[in-house]
Structure 1
Amino acid sequence: MTTTTQRSTASARLTCLAVAAPLWATVSLAQAALRDGFDLTRHPLSMLSTGSLGWLQIANFVVAGVLIVIGATGLRQALSSTWAPRLVLVNGVGMLAAGILPMDPADGFPAGTPAGIPQTMSWHSYGHMAAGSIAFISLIAACYVLGRHFARTGNHRDAVVSHVTGSALLLGDVWAMTGGAAGSLTLAVGAITAMLWVAVVAARLR
């Protein structure tokens, strides 16, 4: 009975992890397409937390962060890897903090905001950047650790996919940080790709 209960609990927690990424990506991309003045080639998805509808993206970050944190505990029960669940947990905490600490309006968004980057930033905007960095670094590391786990177990296909998704986020983040063309777009693609892969892993482990 205890074993059955533990499996049921782990399955429910893994469901939270499997749902987090598709939910966050869907809500983010829908807003990116519909909100006036938003340009994904110029504005990071985090900037959707600003303006009169900013509460929606803030809630999106918070809900996703909570789901990932819960899901990480299920991943710990279902996966023999020690570090992958820990890194996913840190990623969830980073997402949660990024929601609580929103960015400042900038570069024409929300509509009516002056073009360019503000000369000064608020404390919560600095906090958001720190939280986002923690979330991205931990997610990249989690993908690489999953790759190592799958390689050890002989699942070479999933090992390759894990490394590719981690690299997609790493390259997208570096490109955005160095001011590359459409950097926010490449960062969004990399982040969503890595998040969705972790969600796929969680869904399979259920």
Structure 2
Amino acid sequence: MTREFTTPPASAEPLAAPPSRTNRGLLICGALAGPVFVVTVAAQALTRDGFDLRRHPISLLTLGTLGWIQMSAFIVAGLLTAAYAIGLRRVLHPGPAGSWTPPLMGVFGLGLIVGGAFRPDPALGFPPGTPKGNADPMSWHGIVHAVAPPLAFAALVLACLVIVRRAVMLRQLGWATYSAATGVVALVLVAWPGQDGLSMRLAVAVTLAFAWTTMLAFRLLPPAG
């Protein structure tokens, strides 16, 4: 009796774990987290009374009578990302990037959950009728909210760089370039000094970051069957 061996297509990612329905489901969670978050933000940015993405950061959408929508978006995207982190561990470990990428993605997911559970203070005239400036002093939940997203975003940028190393090792230079560009551009957008255009820069950085997490999930998805 002979065995037949098939060679995976050149574009496929080599997996450290065999394909399974559970692995697929966890990776699909990661593919969905970005679209869920970005589409929810876009819909609200276009419809919430008084909200202007040119002046108001995404986090302010958690405030007001409809704030529960954005709170839910943060938490759901965070839970999906946490499941994604488990999937990354199952699929990548013990191969390249298998030790660091999953916990870094887990920190990113946790940051999203915290960002939804602890709301910022009203600021910059949103919700309508609140003061035009920033809250001074900040509330305790506002401080927690302010700390969580930067830590989460830093973890995601590091995950991009870890995946760059993996891609270089696997000679996937296009993917390595895209991952490096995502990490660097997102970091520059967030860390650029000055408040002018900050909310727009944050929105673009979040969109770029979630696009990358979605692309990574699709690359790692084992074939159905």
Cα deviation digits, residues 138-184 of structure 1 (max 9, x gap): 11111111111111110010001001111121011112xx3242111
CA contact (8 A) 1:44 1:184 kept: yes
Aligned to 1:39: 52
1:199 correspondence with 2:214: yes
What are the within-5 Å matches in structure 2 for residues 47-196 of structure 1?
47-79=60-92, 80=95, 81=97, 82-175=99-192, 178-196=193-211
The separation in 2 between residues aligned to 1:131 and 1:8, in whole angstroms, is 32
Unmatched segments (≥5 aa) in structure 1: none
3-state SS in 2 of match to 1:160: helix
Which amino acid counterpart does residue 129 of structure 1 have in structure 2?
A
Unmatched segments (≥5 aa) in structure 2: 1-16
Identity of aligned residues (%): 40
- Considering fraction of residues, name the structure with more helix: 1
Which amino acid counterpart does residue 216 of structure 2 have in structure 1?
V
Distance apart, 1:117 and its partner CA? 1.1
Give the TM-score normalised by structure 2.
Answer: 0.86
3-state SS in 2 of match to 1:43: coil
CA RMSD, aligned part only?
A: 1.3
3-state SS in 2 of match to 1:154: coil
Point out the structure with max Rg over C-alpha. Answer: 2
CA contact (8 A) 1:165 1:197 kept: yes
1:8 correspondence with 2:27: no
1:23 correspondence with 2:62: no
Runs ≥4 in structure 1, deviation > 6 angstroms? none
The separation in 2 between residues aligned to 1:201 and 1:148, in whole angstroms, is 14
3-state SS in 2 of match to 1:194: helix
Which amino acid counterpart does residue 60 of structure 1 have in structure 2?
A
The number of equivalent residue pairs is 201
Which amino acid counterpart does residue 169 of structure 1 have in structure 2?
A
